[in-house]
Amino acid sequence: MNLKTLLKISVILSSLLLMSFKGCEDSNDEPESSAFIDLKGNWKFSIGDDPEWAGEDYDDSDWEEISVPSLWENEGFYGYDGFAWFRKTVELKSSQLNENLFLYLGYIDDVDETYFNGQLIGLSGSFPPNISTAYNAQRKYFIPTSLLKKGTNIIAVRVFDMHLDGGITKGNIGIYKSDDGKGSSIASAYNLDLDIYLQGKWKFSTGDNPEWSKTDFPDSAWNDIFVPASWESRGYPNYDGFGWYRKKFFLPENFKNKKMVLMLGRIDDIDQTFINGKLIGSIGDWNFKEIPKYFNTFNEWETLRAYFIPEHVLRPGSENIICVRVYDGFVDGGIYDGPIGLITQEKYRQFWRGKQSQ
């Protein structure tokens, strides 16, 4: 029986047991294995804010160097609050390009966006004007294999500090191999060659409203949230209940005659998933009056979501929208693990047939 199941059972059996869980700070330990690539040491650093600094071709040769992990106050920037950027060069060999890798940045005070070769791979907290700190959340960001390059790769981290300490403050900073187990379906799924990656910023709201599954619902006022990641680590600490995700994406015309699968990784605890207003998949018992009672009967939070999309639901050559209704009953919640995106059924089936023959 897994740790989360034991925790949930213990609360049900004893209402007198009071426990405090703070998102991924408590539920995700530091990596147990040694780093695949150790990133502790000197990083390039600049105060200020410029979106061009995320780019892999940006020339940072005149930037300062500071030690990571460390408070930037201890590196000569005492009293500074505001925006700053970190950059680090990573060299990869061709033999390393097919690994399931994640970037571990430990703790960052207060908010960050993290880029790998110019592409956003992680976000924790919320930037101004709707600032929300994530200083106590561990940063563990999956790196899509499509972003890995032989030779020079660039990590860029945008940070905002509200007050007091700032920077990449502590942790065993590095790139690690996936710790889900080589033989597991989750670890294997990271090797899927997705046709459309949907990892990144989604729209998010707590609460529950059936209108939120509709294509024309105006979600511009919703907060941005990074997917995949628990919502506790993205500015919603200790929240249990309903939450909705929405993501607009363009499907190229050349997918017109293709049957597709939507990959949503793992969701904590149960979900109903809609594309263009149509329910295409669901995990968990959604037969309830007010709130779900049986949200962890079969360890639904560990189930890999792979939803085969019915014909005539997707709109090739046009904008499409995914809406995901989630209920979390305890501990961390949300779309917390990948892979996230679309893949043709042909490629999906070939991949798993190949795994069975190994």
pLDDT of residue 17: 31
Point out the least confidently predicted range of 1-10, 229-238, 293-302: 1-10
pTM recorded for the entire structure: 0.74
pLDDT tops 90 at residue 260: yes
| Two tokens, residue 320 | 């499409």
* Interacting residues of 303 by C-beta distance below 8 A, sequence separation 6+: 266, 267, 283
- 289-315: pLDDT as tens digits: 888 888 888 899 999 999 999 999 999
- pLDDT category at 358 given cuts 50, 70, 90 is low
- pLDDT category at 29 given cuts 50, 70, 90 is low
For β-strands 174-177 and 37-38, DSSP reports them as antiparallel
Point out the least confidently predicted range of 9-18, 253-262, 288-297: 9-18
Residues of the chain with CATH 2.60.120.260: 24-28+35-177, 185-357
For range 12-31, the mean pLDDT:
39
- 134-148: pLDDT as tens digits: 898 889 888 888 899
For β-strands 64-68 and 111-116, DSSP reports them as unpaired
For range 62-73, the mean pLDDT:
97
- pLDDT category at 27 given cuts 50, 70, 90 is very low
| Two tokens, residue 43 | 């990083």
pLDDT of residue 32: 66
pLDDT of residue 187: 59
Point out the least confidently predicted range of 18-32, 80-94, 176-190: 18-32
pLDDT of residue 20: 30
pLDDT of residue 258: 95
- DSSP letters for 135-172: TTSEEEEEE-GGG--SEEEEEEEEEEE-SSS-EEEES-
pLDDT tops 60 at residue 184: no
- pLDDT category at 156 given cuts 50, 70, 90 is very high
Tell me which residue has tokens 């249990």: 240
User: Helix count (H) and strand count (E) of the chain?
Assistant: 4, 21
**Nearest C-alpha neighbor of 160 from the set 271, 86, 221, 222:** 86
Tell me how crowded residue 273 is: count the other CB atoms within 10 A of its CB: 24
pLDDT tops 60 at residue 15: no
- Percent of the chain clearing pLDDT 70 (strictly above): 87
pLDDT of residue 33: 64
Q: Which residue has the higher pLDDT, 148 or 17?
A: 148
**Nearest C-alpha neighbor of 123 from the set 136, 107, 111, 110:** 111
- pLDDT category at 269 given cuts 50, 70, 90 is very high
CATH code that applies to domain 24-28+35-177:
2.60.120.260
- pLDDT category at 177 given cuts 50, 70, 90 is confident
How far apart are alpha carbons 55 and 28 in whole angstroms? 30
Average pLDDT, the chain: 87
pLDDT tops 60 at residue 323: yes
pLDDT of residue 185: 58
pLDDT of residue 14: 34
CATH code that applies to domain 185-357:
2.60.120.260
Q: Is there a contact between 224 and 267 (Cβ–Cβ < 8 Å)?
A: no
